Structure 1
Amino acid sequence: MNRRPDPRQTAARPELAPRVRRFSAAERWAHRATAVLMGVCVVTAAFLYLPALAELIGRRALVVTVHQWAGIALPVPVLAALGSRALRADLTLLNRFGPHDRRWLRAALHRDKRRSSRPAHKFNAGQKIYAAWAAGATLVMLGTGLMMWFTHLTPLTWRTGATFVHDWLALTLGVVLAGHIGMAMGDPEARRGMRTGSVAREWAEREHPLWLRERKSSR
């Protein structure tokens, strides 16, 4: 006989609360691999551009090589995971922007923290904008990085522009990533969902009510 978990137990141990499946194994591994590669790119970039850090390593050629190959490999985890139906479905959701997303953005801009003012499907409007920006920034970084790497393929003026864009976009990307990590650190259940694949039903009802409602109606 199945018994409902004691609310006092679930408050102390959130993993005991009723769970809802959110991410597949392929999605979680793609996220982890991408995070590792992005971390390598950011750390090696810091050692390349900050003299105080560069002096600690000294082997600049090695750092450049690691940075280059980590950047080349950055799109690979997502491309490899495209065989997952769940990932393709989530990419479709991330690419859709509906009336509820505009409402979510208006509430965020006006600092309205009421949950009723911020309706969200599986991904809220902020997550959709971040995903689109990160994907675009990654492609630009990859393109400009290749132009800087293979110097014989493009004229000097192109490489100069590519270097400027690459450096400043890298700085912007670092700031945005810090914000992304900060948001994740402030939401343990969201991190648990990415780590285990499931989230507490209560969290889903609070943060992504439209998604949970659609799941219930599709059954």
Structure 2
Amino acid sequence: MTPPPDPRAARGLRRFTRTETWVHRSVAWLMGVCVFTGAALYVPQLAEIVGRRRLVVTVHEWSGILVPVPVLLGLASRAFRADAGRLGRFFPHDWRWVGVALRRRRREPSLAGKFNAGQKLYAAFSVGALLVMAGTGVLMWFPRLAPLVWRTGSTFVHDWLALLFAAAITGHVYFAAQDPDARRGLRTGYVPRWWARAEHPLWQPEEPHDPPAGQPTGRHSRTP
């Protein structure tokens, strides 16, 4: 008797857990609010449309403070901690990916594990930028915590880093828009197996994410 097909195989390869998709979605929404309210504070035309500057400031401050909360909650998940560790480690093939990207101005999928070097660099930059912006934002929010020269420097750093971060987010969204299967992975947690083999061939999924015995895995021999 032929066993019934496994629904997990039909959905594809498990790339992210529900916790990871929730963390990403929550951080994305909070960052979107930060970017919009920040723009409303500094772009005169947008400020005129939105109005209520004091409310916009309050929403901007609290959304910025809340950005790390989903990440801290996500650390309770073993899968999230494992992926955070992957994002924080560079391997020789990652440096080769960067070299190829700089020379040819395109990605080199064959040199990617679960996350390629571009994703790792973006994650590292985002964490560092958020920490700096949180620190400078607190000094701006509570001016009595520091002397005037510190507050002036914090405003300068916060504003210019915000512009740089907005540009990085724009690039991140642009590349995501070019890859519907990657977006599907963030939305549903699953990606097609052919996509994983083509874009991240060095990625070896964990056992709980594999299909049942007897079905093809599409695994490759080495994991970074």
Fold similarity call, TM over 0.5: yes
**Is 1:132 matched with 2:124?**
yes
| CA distances 1:30-51 after superposition (whole Å, capped 9, x unpaired) | 0000000000000000100011
Equivalence for 1:159 = 151
> Could you say what secondary structure the match of 1:132 adopts?
helix
1:174 pairs, out of 166, 177, 181, with 166
Equivalence for 1:11 = none
1:32 pairs, out of 5, 25, 34, with 25
Q: CA deviation at 1:176?
A: 0.7
Q: CA deviation at 1:212?
A: 3.5
**Is 1:194 matched with 2:195?**
no
> Could you say what secondary structure the match of 2:90 adopts?
coil
Contact residue 18 and residue 201 of structure 1 kept, 8 A = no
Q: CA deviation at 1:56?
A: 1.2
Equivalence for 1:64 = 57
Q: CA deviation at 1:95?
A: 1.1
The AA in structure 1 aligned to 2:42 is Y
Q: CA deviation at 1:184?
A: 0.5
Question: What TM-score, normalized to structure 2?
Answer: 0.86
Q: CA deviation at 1:3?
A: 9.2
Instruction: Identify if the C-alpha distance between structure 1 residues 163 and 115 changes in structure 2 by more than 3 Å, giving closer, same or farther.
Output: closer
The AA in structure 2 aligned to 1:123 is F
Aligned residues: 207
Instruction: Identify if the C-alpha distance between structure 1 residues 114 and 171 changes in structure 2 by more than 3 Å, giving closer, same or farther.
Output: closer
Q: CA deviation at 1:111?
A: 1.1
Q: CA deviation at 1:110?
A: 1.1
Gaps of 5+ in 1: 5-15
Identity among equivalent positions (%) equals 58
Q: CA deviation at 1:29?
A: 0.2
Gaps of 5+ in 2: 208-218
Contact residue 112 and residue 201 of structure 2 kept, 8 A = yes
Equivalence for 2:94 = 101
Equivalence for 1:79 = 72
The AA in structure 2 aligned to 1:196 is T
Q: Which has the higher helix share?
A: 1
Contact residue 192 and residue 198 of structure 1 kept, 8 A = yes
Q: Tell which deviates more after alignment, 131-140 or 107-116.
A: 107-116
Equivalence for 1:207 = 199
Equivalence for 1:141 = 133
Question: What TM-score, normalized to structure 1?
Answer: 0.88
The AA in structure 2 aligned to 1:152 is R
> Could you say what secondary structure the match of 2:191 adopts?
strand
Q: CA deviation at 1:57?
A: 2.1
- The separation in 2 between residues aligned to 1:58 and 1:115, in whole angstroms, is 46
> Could you say what secondary structure the match of 1:43 adopts?
helix
Q: Following TM superposition, where does structure 1 have runs of at least 4 consecutive aligned residues deviating by more than 4 angstroms?
A: 112-116
> Could you say what secondary structure the match of 2:129 adopts?
helix
Superposed CA RMSD: 2.2
Equivalence for 1:7 = none
> Could you say what secondary structure the match of 2:104 adopts?
coil
